[in-house]
């Protein structure tokens, strides 16, 4: 099976502080992978390296078999949802979407066609002409996810995408993301520090202080470590 994302032996320093230590992981086509770690574990640094907000110091990252050193080829077919909101609050939902499509070289018609089905699923059909600042937090997040799906990317990267949202909205968004993995055969890297966002059948990679300490299907990790929950496994491995 094709690796949609492959991270090879990544290490990274901020001045003298080593924040990532020989990190490797991969995501197969049509897979949902959770990167779990506490704040400061190195998750956001890894995300910044994948999206080229930071420059690689060692190792390599491949997207669709292209090294991110080949910027155009590697990043042309991905969708990104950052932890911090990046929508223009003074533009309408439609204007934000069309502008993002234009940055990808996609026409208005192509942009709206590529997200036609998702507009309905995310309950945004009646919000297109609403200014983003007039939306609640849950709807803003849905718009950011919708924007990331413009052009039908093969890989979706989400960094703490449910941060600050209520439980019901968080679960709704997670459920939706898992559904599009199946529907679109898209690959997803879901970065979080919240244990309740992880299902027992999810594949998870746990990172602590810049190092991957375990990975696998949640129920199997729990069983192998003779614990009752992923939380207990995490606590035992991070003492």
The domains found in the chain, sorted by start residue, are 1-77+157-239 (3.40.50.300), 88-153 (no CATH)
State yes or no: pLDDT of 227 exceeds 80. Answer: yes
Alpha helices by DSSP H, the chain: 43-50, 71-75, 93-103, 108-114, 116-121, 137-148, 167-184, 218-224, 230-237
**Above 70 in pLDDT, residue 71?**
no
In the predicted structure, residue 85 carries a pLDDT above the cut 80: yes
Sorted by sequence, the CB contacts under 8 Å of residue 115 that are 6+ apart come out as 97, 146, 149, 150
Q: Which residues contact 27 (CB under 8 A, 6 or more apart)?
A: 3, 4, 5, 6, 33, 155, 187, 188, 189
**Residue 119: how many other CB atoms lie within 10 Å:** 18
Say yes or no to pLDDT of 146 above 70.
yes
Query: How many angstroms separate the CA atoms of 208 and 210, rounded?
Result: 5
Are the CB atoms for 87 and 132 separated by under 8 Å? yes
* Residue 203, beta-bridge partner list: 33, 217
Measured in Å, how far apart are the chain's first and last C-alpha atoms? Answer: 36
Whether 202 has a pLDDT exceeding 90, the answer reads yes
Residue 88: partners with Cβ closer than 8 Å, 6 or more residues away: 95, 96, 99, 132
| Torsion angle in degrees (nearest 10) through CA of 95, 99, 104, 105 | 100
> The tokens of 234 are what?
């995490």
What was the pLDDT predicted at 69?
82
For the segment 216-233, the average pLDDT, to the nearest whole number, is 95
Q: Tell me the whole-structure pTM to 2 decimals.
A: 0.93
């Amino acid at each position: 099976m094709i690796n949609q994302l492959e991270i090879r032996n990544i290490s990274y320093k901020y001045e003298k502080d080593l924040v990532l230590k020989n990190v490797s992981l991969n995501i197969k086509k049509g897979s949902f992978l959770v990167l779990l770690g506490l704040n400061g574990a190195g998750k956001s640094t890894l995300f910044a390296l994948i999206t080229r907000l930071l420059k690689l110091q060692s190792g390599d990252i491949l997207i669709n078999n292209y090294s991110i050193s080949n910027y155009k080829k590697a990043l042309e077919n991905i969708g990104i949802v950052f932890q911090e909101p990046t929508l223009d609050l003074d533009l309408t939902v439609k204007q934000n979407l069309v502008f993002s499509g234009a940055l990808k070289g996609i026409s208005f018609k192509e942009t709206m066609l590529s997200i036609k089905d998702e507009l309905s699923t995310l309950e945004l059909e009646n919000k297109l002409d609403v200014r983003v600042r007039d939306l609640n937090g849950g709807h803003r997040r849905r718009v950011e996810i919708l924007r990331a799906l413009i052009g039908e990317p093969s890989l979706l990267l989400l960094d703490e995408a449910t941060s600050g949202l209520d439980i019901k909205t968080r679960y709704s968004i997670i459920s939706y993301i898992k559904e599009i993995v199946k529907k679109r055969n898209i690959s997803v890297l879901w970065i979080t520090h919240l244990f309740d966002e992880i299902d027992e059948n999810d594949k998870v990679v746990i990172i602590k202080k810049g190092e991957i300490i375990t990975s696998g299907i949640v129920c199997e990790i729990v069983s192998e470590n003779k614990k009752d929950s992923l939380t207990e496994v995490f606590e035992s491995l991070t003492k």
